[in-house]
Amino acid sequence: MDIIGLDLHKRESQLAIKAEDGTIAERRIVTSRERFTAVLGGRPRARILLEASTESEWVARHLESFGHEVIVADPNYAPMYANRSRRTKTDKRDARTLLDACETNAYRPAHRLSEARRHVRAELAVRDALVRTRTRYIALAKALVRRDGLRVPTSASSWVPTRIAALDLSPALATELTPLFAVYAPLNEQIAAADRRLAVGAAADPIVARLATAPEIGPVTASAFVATIDDITRFGSAHQLEAYLGVVPSERSSGEKRQLGRITKAGNGRMRWLLVEAAWRILRSKSPETAALRAWALAIARRRGKRIAAVALARRLAGVLYAMWRDGVPYDAQRIRPLAVTVHERAG
């Protein structure tokens, strides 16, 4: 069987192909379905290694349709690059490195999301872009209002245009704000439509519906968690999942000295942000269903401050959602154990 290292890029990709007789051929091709079909479509079954990237999934599926064995590798796995030169980096060398790693099995396969989960993640990415755009519009509108010595009363984002319209705006300021408000209503409609689609999908997915029983975990956060993790059996413990999401403290230890730092912020940034937002909502809530988690976090807040407590609670929420998914049970506040006296939390 031929072995192929594929250094994949957006426009052009580099191939290193080792035949059964040991000869190595190198090719540079345009990254397109047509060129992959022309170059690799008619070849005998080969083993192909490429790094996980934005384009990797469609390329892997396309090559698998020709009968090739395709491995999408984790680019963060250092042993895969053992033969890479530190002095010179080229696409040809990278393709050769991937070829060597494929031949010696010196790689760690990346998890490939199912088609359904990939669709949910795309929906969430679109919604996130819409929400961030709305946030920028609101921030700009408030800044323009403050420039004229006015203040916008605190309110939900949907009420900001109404609050601003009620102020004594100068004709010039009203003219400046008109383009923002013209696109604000359609933007809100698209965000609401995205929320409805996610809610329908959440109701149809028993795992998402179960996770949404946790306090302040709505359809968006539950859907994002499931779409990010995809398969809970990938993780042997809650700590492994928390590390994957980047909500565990970084560590620099040597000998008898152990030093913990800020959270690693590895993994999916959107999922981490959603967990932190849910943690803040719990800290501000007065609802009885949040009492157990809120008491746990407030014990940290008294010693370390609310900011660290919020991040620690986000980590705890990730562990709670992991246990709910693994055990197939809804949220149970009685299973939230109180904080131990000697806990050291590092976050931020």
Residue-range domain boundaries for the chain: 2-104, 115-204, 219-335
CB 218 within 8 A of CB 212: yes
Six-digit token pair at 327?
């055990």
Q: Please give the pLDDT value at position 85.
A: 66
From the number of C-beta atoms within 10 Å of its C-beta (0-12, 13-18, 19+), residue 32 rates as: middle
Q: Please give the pLDDT value at position 210.
A: 96
Residue ranges of the chain with pLDDT lower than 50?
341-348
Fold exhibited by the domain 2-104? Nucleotidyltransferase; domain 5 (3.30.420)
How far are the Cα atoms of 87, 114, 269 from residue 123, in angstroms, in the given order?
Answer: 42, 14, 16
This prediction has a pTM of 0.83
Six-digit token pair at 124?
């969430």
Separation CA 29–CA 80 (nearest Å)? 23
Helix (H, G, I), strand (E, B), or coil: what is residue 224?
A: helix
Six-digit token pair at 147?
């420039």
Separation CA 282–CA 119 (nearest Å)? 29
Q: Please give the pLDDT value at position 345.
A: 44
- DSSP string covering 306-338: HHHHHHHHHHHHHHHHHHHHHHT----GGG-PP
Separation CA 316–CA 331 (nearest Å)? 13
Could you say which DSSP state residue 218 is in?
Answer: -
Q: Please give the pLDDT value at position 198.
A: 92
User: Kind of pairing, strands 249-254 and 69-73?
Assistant: unpaired
Q: Please give the pLDDT value at position 255.
A: 67
Q: Please give the pLDDT value at position 328.
A: 96
Six-digit token pair at 200?
């329908």
Q: Please give the pLDDT value at position 313.
A: 96
Could you say which DSSP state residue 340 is in?
Answer: P
Q: Please give the pLDDT value at position 157.
A: 82
How many Å separate Cα 305 from the centre of its chain? Answer: 27
Q: Please give the pLDDT value at position 227.
A: 95
How many Å separate Cα 299 from the centre of its chain? Answer: 29
Six-digit token pair at 93?
């060398």
Q: Supply the Cα-derived Rg of the chain in whole angstroms.
A: 25
Separation CA 145–CA 147 (nearest Å)? 5
Q: Please give the pLDDT value at position 194.
A: 94
pLDDT in tens, 147-163: 999 998 888 887 888 89
